A and B are shown apart, each in its own frame.
Chain A
Amino acid sequence: MSSRRSRSRQPANPGISDDQIIELVSKLQQLLPELRHRRSDKVSASKVLQEMCNYIRTLHREVDGLSDRLSELLATSDTAQAAIIRNLLMQ
């Protein structure tokens, strides 16, 4: 890794340091339900990023599922509010 560093040219944004990146990654780790209880030095940055991508996809799938559930509930409900929402959605 040290040989790679010496070969690299000047970074485009020298403002952010590697330490800051490490801190941001550990903050992301705290958001992940499976990794937040593990020590940050035991989890690699690429693992955190990979799990973060999976987590975002999972959340999108949950939104999809909830949208399906809400539209089915809307179709079967006979309250006045449901009728108003159905009219709004038909536009």
Chain B
Amino acid sequence: MALNFFDQFLSPTHLGIPLVLIAMIFPWVLYPSPSNRWLNNRLVTLQGQFFNRFTQQLLLPLNQGGHKWALILLSLMVFLLSINMLGMLPYTFTPTTQLSLNMGFAVPFWLATVIIGMRNQPTAALGHLLPEGTPVPLIPVLIIIETISLFIRPIALGVRLTANLTAGHLLIQLIAT
């Protein structure tokens, strides 16, 4: 029945420990902290190269001030990447299929960027609400539209991640039966 397809997204509890807790802590095991030796083991070396390349690509469009965000962005992305990839293994549980987790990521991040932008340079932050080169009659409408899009952004981001992962898992299960 169609109802059973969504049962895979429940978080089972066993001995009082929910599986979501294990699923969120397990990626920590896969990334050992590199020692300050000159030659590390292969796993740490490969991960270091991957993270370096990833951060370099991430920070390309940002100026010097944006580099402060490198650590938080990298850790968030690697966390989500590993959780989603681990969800591909059989019988595992993917925490990002739960809307609560994704909104818990989306809203604080979005709010932090907006508030920091408003505090550091309020005119530029407000100026983002109006794209350059808009015709004068359109200005009021566009400001309203841009404000709405600003506030919808966390909901869009959170729901997008949830929907993508849920749809993917559901599709896999539909094809398999």
- The yes or no verdict on A and B being binding partners is no
